[in-house]
Amino acid sequence: MRTNWLPLGVSIAAVGLLTAFAVYQALCVNLAPDFFIYRAGAEMGLHGESPYDREKLRALVAAQYPDNALLIEHCGYFLPPQAALILAPFAAVPYPAAKVSWAIINGLCAAAVLLVLRLFASRPLPRGAQLLLPLILSWNYLTAAIIELGQTSLLCTGCIAAGLWCFERKQPTLGVLLWSVAFVKPHVALPLIPLAWYLGGWKRAAALVAVVAMLNLIGATIVGGSPLFLRDYLNDLSSAHKAVMFNLASSNPEITSWNRLLFAMTESWAGERFLIELTATTTVAGYLVWWALAVMRCWLAQKWPSAAWATAAAVVGSVWCVQALPYDLIWLALAVPWVRELFSAGYRVRGWIAAGLLVLQLIPLDLVGQLGISTHRPLGVACFAMLVLVGPVGGRRISLSA
């Protein structure tokens, strides 16, 4: 068999370009504030200090970014205790080496994201898509922003994609370990538990919960001296997270969730904004409503959903039911296999609409803001979520016989 070298070369070039950009940022630019905060928190934890001590953290941030008063005022470490374990290798080396290592890891994760082009695929991509999609998936506004901020979204997405790849190839243990990394963002990663159940049965879901719980208990013991420190993290999270303006639907137009869209649209329709800031309770309630709608869709179709549809439903639920920030939209790359499924099944119009909605999320707010639009992210997520619910679920028909 002949190797198709051109698409492979394009993929390598796209990932190489992003990695080179990440290494340049690491060596020549004093940005990546989120990575600095995450690493600083992990370092504090490994030295027996609480990473949730905002005053100590602010002092470290002020020393690194003395001219960024907004960052100093609104910084915070909100990752769960398991993050101290995952970030420990970066906290164990000098900061310059940690930044370069983080850049290389992000490049590898960008390569892992490209695995979605091979997941659940029944037929090869057209030639043009083989050349274009690797560029779009690995080198775009969101991935560049993630690199500049030092966020963990690309790491999470790459680990989920690689985990799906492992599940497809009968390597569930490695897949579960990779998925557990995504729980550094536990509120966004929560749908991975029902998805793991659907794709691999209750044992896979139970294994994922057990690994995440174990990592957090070990992390809490290292950071706080006791597994009960996990309770302190939960108490801190409920109050400190809302103290950061970037996390509020009222002050950040790029938040992707339904409440941000409601906040923006009610002013346009009624002249008065209706504000709901999501809490843990309302977030879980939103997830329950979303999954109830997804189950109802499958019941109406009388079909078990395909793996691609179930994955798309999980990731769009993650950014629709949670006050997620724009860089978390990279999770929607995992919905690409379902878009491919639409085209393969002959739903070309719906396929193009879905592709357009995903591309819409890659457009910077500054650009669409020139057109007077400030809600394109939550609106695009809402439309994609609706398309998932009304679109074909694929899969085999449910047998009602005994």
Encode pLDDT of 328-371 as tens digits: 999 999 999 999 999 988 899 999 999 999 999 988 887 876 66
pTM recorded for the entire structure: 0.93
Cα–Cα separations (whole angstroms), residue 53 to 156, 178, 215:
25, 29, 21
Please give the pLDDT value at position 337.
Answer: 93
Please state, in angstroms and rounded to a whole number, the distance separating the CA atoms of residues 167 and 171.
Answer: 5
Average pLDDT of the residues in 51-75 = 89
CA–CA separation, 339 and 358 (whole Å) = 10
Task: Say how far apart CA 47 and CA 222 lie, in whole Å.
Answer: 9
Tell me which residue has tokens 């930044």.
99
Q: Taking 90 as the threshold, does the pLDDT of residue 121 lie above it?
A: no
Say whether pLDDT at 400 is over 70: no
**Worst-scoring range by mean pLDDT, 5-14, 76-85, 162-171, 376-385?**
5-14
- C-alpha to C-alpha distance for 391 and 347, rounded to whole angstroms: 9
Find how far residue 87's CA is from the centre of its chain: 17
| Whole-number Å distance between alpha carbons of 255 and 328 | 10
How many other β-carbons are positioned within 10 Å of the β-carbon of residue 399?
8
* Of 242 and 148, more confident: 148
Contact 216, 81 (CB under 8 A): yes
